[in-house]
Chain A
Amino acid sequence: MGKYSDSDEWVDVVPIPQDDGGPNPLAAIAYTEEYSEAMSYLRAAMAKNEKSDRALKLTEEIIRMNPAHYTVWLYRADMLFSLQKDLLEELEWLNTVALKHTKNFQIWHHRQVVMSHIPTLPPRETAFLALMFAKDAKNYHVWSYRQWLVRHFSLWDSELPYIESLLQIDVRNNSAWNHRWFVVFARHTDSKKHSIKNGDADSDVPLEIIEREVEYTKAAISTAPQNQSPWNYLRGVLRKKGIGLVELKGFAEQYADLEKEDEVRSSHALDFLADVYAAEEHKERSGKALELLARRYDPIRKNYWDYRRSLLALDQVSA
């Protein structure tokens, strides 16, 4: 007795139960039965490669219960295209599934497969992604999908204002910082050629862009100096144009003054300055910044900071 075995729609199908080899029968939990019954009809439908509305509905039911079941997605996508279903409707349905199962990644690959059959960006797409980010602004699958979408529809120009709004809400959102990098720098690189790697120096990047990014990042750091994302970003931007960190020495010293050990506001500034001083051949100062990190401001990584200090080849270790 079950939803499918009792329905006229599926009367011609003999379900194929799962043979897991185990001795224990399924317990009589209603939901378990519903799921396992649906699965046995899915196996039967797939076995004869049925493409029909009822099979489509069946995949919907199974996905509702268990969206992580990878097999069902492939079958569904196949049917959508052969039955020439309305793909915008599919997206609307996917929205509800995605909002309910935020950790699932099959949903996002399916969305990408569906979207690549739609010629122009559906008007509600970005609003939906914004809704997903409102729930979890660091959802890795959604960000990967968004990068694909930006590349696919060439949405480069509208991205920066959106990223800035996200960073305004949470300046520590590393995903948004990464996306900023992607939008600013990766748009010009041909992902197939790989001639210039994502983080590598690229003399073709206009200086105005570098300056704009440096100013934006400095402002973000000033609102929260102890935030690793913009400091990493800043280093990346400078490296992109081959600019030395020394250029920002004064800026970094605002957050870490070696003469005022008790008032260091950012371990990242100390880290930055250690490299600045080393580049200036002020090895003692560099060593002091690293020693402060090892002893006081980031002691859990003592071995890392000690290694950095060993690279300075100071004549003798003072501390």
Chain B
Amino acid sequence: MSLVSGPGRGGASAGGHVPDELKLVVEKHVEYIQSLDTRQDELEYWLTEHLRLNGVYWGLTALHLLGHPDALSRLATIDFILSCQHENGGFGAAPGHDAHMLYTVSAVQILGTVDALEELDRRGKAGTEKVGKYIADLQNQETGSFAGDQWGETDTRFLYGALNALSLLHMLRLVNVSKAVTHIQACANFDGGYGVSPGAESHAGQIFTCVAALAIAGRLDLVDKDRLGGWLSERQVPNGGLNGRPEKVEDVCYSWWVGSSLAMIDRLHWINGDKLAQFILRCQDPDKGGIADRPGDMVDVFHTHFGIAGLSLIGFPGLIAVDPIYCMPREVTKRLLGKLNT
């Protein structure tokens, strides 16, 4: 899966004509995502190698939400994912890259989405138990936070990723969930939001990770929902798009981070869904497919994924429902979480 941006631009249209009624160009987006693997002759393909596994997650999830789960070869996907695994259980972004929390989480999400988690035990370099242990070992016993790898960088993103993957694997027992919850509470700010670490500025992306982690831990009762919802809904700007912090420019990916956070605290209706949908649709390239961060910019798989996920969240017709906590098809999380712990 290439993370090369372009070639199309959001809002581009051959005739320069913008139709009154914007449509989601489902088939074009499917073709765009399928085309990404054929772009290995571009430098950016190689420069983004360290994101490859995330890229597969973004492309695959978008295809599922678009209702085209078979647009990528299931077997090739599984093979690629397994080729990124290390003997310690963790996954790197691409074969030969060091293991890291973010890619390990994406690997679990992808295998779960294509219903192939058993493949870990069948032919992974390490089985499910080791994957869980790799993730669990990145928890800081003292603070409850999680590092991304042995380099030690901590970020609420990693904490969320750990709880996400471990809950999908039914292995939350491996970590100290209550300490993790305490750490998230320490990241709460006076304005109702959450930051990357205690004291850091509220940021919609970090809010998503903190609220989703609390949701997985079953502790949404700790969230001041009205205050946080007020702050999150304030992210919508007059053109319908959402920004991630006060006085910052709007961006399609915040459709997801702001929207899903609001959905988890039952306040998604506090933003104007119609205006948001219009904004996201203006960011798509109606001719070649793909979605950009904002109209006029180059499309890429990251914003394509989060744009579609954002549309799914607000119930845009024709899309498969997304789970706001996991950013995966709701049917998939139901299937995975419903499975009895073995």
What is A's interface to B at a CB cutoff of 8 Å?
Answer: 16, 18-22, 24, 26-27, 29, 31-32, 35-36, 39, 43, 65-66, 68-71, 73-74, 77, 109, 113, 138, 140, 143-144, 147, 172-175, 178-179, 181-182, 186, 191-192, 194, 197-199, 228-229, 232-233, 235-236, 239-240, 300-304, 307
Q: CA–CA, A192 to B183, complex, Å?
A: 9
B272 and A300 contact, CB distance less than 8 A: yes
User: Judging by beta carbons under 8 Å apart, are B233 and A113 in contact?
Assistant: no
B40 lies within 8 A of A24 (CB): yes
Flag if B197 contacts A144 (CB, 8 Å): yes
Q: Tell me if B170 counts as interface (CB < 8 A to partner A).
A: no
B247, A199: Cβ atoms closer than 8 Å: no
The reply to whether B95 and A178 form a contact with Cβ atoms under 8 Å apart is no
Q: Is the interface of B mostly helix, strand, loop or mixed?
A: loop
On whether the beta carbons of A109 and B43 are closer than 8 Å, the reply is no
Contact of A65 with B47 in the complex, beta carbons under 8 Å: yes
Distance of A172 Cα from B248 Cα, bound (Å): 10
Which of A27, A43, A143 is close to B42, meaning CB atoms less than 8 Å apart?
A27
Collect the chain A residues with CB atoms within 8 Å of residue B153's CB. Answer: 109
Given contacts A70-B98, A198-B189, contact A140 B50 (CB under 8 A): no
- Across-interface contacts of B245 in A (CB, < 8 A): 138, 174-175
Q: Is the CB of A74 within 8 A of B40?
A: no
How far apart are the CA atoms of A43 and B190 in the complex, in Å?
46
Residue of B nearest to A71 (CB): B98
Chain A residues positioned under 8 Å from B49 (CB to CB): 18, 20, 69
Instruction: Assess whether A198 is in contact with B246, with CB atoms less than 8 Å apart.
Output: no
Closest CB of chain B to A146's CB: distance in Å? Answer: 10
Collect the chain B residues with CB atoms within 8 Å of residue A21's CB. Answer: 79-80, 83, 95
A-chain residues with CB within 8 Å of residue B143 when the two chains form the complex: 192
Is B189 a contact of A301 with CB atoms below 8 Å? no
Please report the C-alpha to C-alpha distance between residue A182 and residue B186 in the assembled complex, in whole angstroms. Answer: 13
Distance, CA A37 to CA B189, complexed state (A):
46
Q: Is B97 an interface residue (CB 8 A)?
A: yes
Q: Return B85 CB to nearest CB of chain A, in Å.
A: 14
B80 engages A74 (CB within 8 Å): no
List of B residues within 8 angstroms of A182 by Cβ: 199
Closest-CB distance, B307 to chain A (whole angstroms): 19
> Given known contacts A229-B247, A236-B191, A239-B190, what 15 new A-B pairs fall within 8 Å (CB)?
A21-B79, A24-B41, A66-B47, A68-B50, A68-B51, A140-B201, A144-B196, A194-B186, A197-B188, A228-B234, A233-B191, A300-B236, A301-B233, A301-B272, A304-B267
A304:B230 contact, CB within 8 angstroms: yes
B229 interfacial by beta-carbon distance below 8 Å: yes
B155 to chain A, nearest CB (A): 9
Q: How far is the CB of A272 from chain B (nearest CB, A)?
A: 12
Q: 16 A–B contact pairs at CB < 8 A?
A: A18-B94, A21-B95, A26-B46, A29-B41, A66-B47, A68-B51, A70-B149, A74-B151, A172-B247, A179-B201, A198-B188, A198-B198, A236-B190, A236-B191, A302-B272, A307-B270
Q: Please report B residues at the A interface, Cβ cutoff 8 Å.
A: 37-38, 40-43, 46-51, 79-80, 83, 92-98, 100, 142-143, 149-153, 182, 185-192, 195-203, 229-231, 233-234, 236, 238, 240, 245-248, 267, 269-272, 275
Asked whether, in the complex, the Cβ of A147 is within 8 Å of the Cβ of B247, the reply is: no
Top 6 A-B pairs, shortest CB-CB distance: A236-B190, A27-B41, A199-B190, A178-B201, A304-B270, A24-B40
CA distance A196 to B152 in the complex (A): 26
Q: Nearest CB to that of A109 among chain B residues?
A: B153
- A301 B199 Cβ-Cβ under 8 A: no
| Distance from A275 Cβ to chain B, minimum over Cβ atoms (Å) | 11
Which of A22, A39, A307 is the one whose CB lies under 8 Å from B40? A22
Complex contacts, B246 vs chain A, CB 8 Å: 172, 174, 228-229
- List the B residue with the shortest CB-CB distance to A186: B199
Query: What CA separation (Å) do A178 and B97 show in the bound complex?
Result: 36
Chain A contacts for B38, CB-based, 8 A: 24
Closest to A240 in B: B190
A113 to B152, CA, bound (A): 9
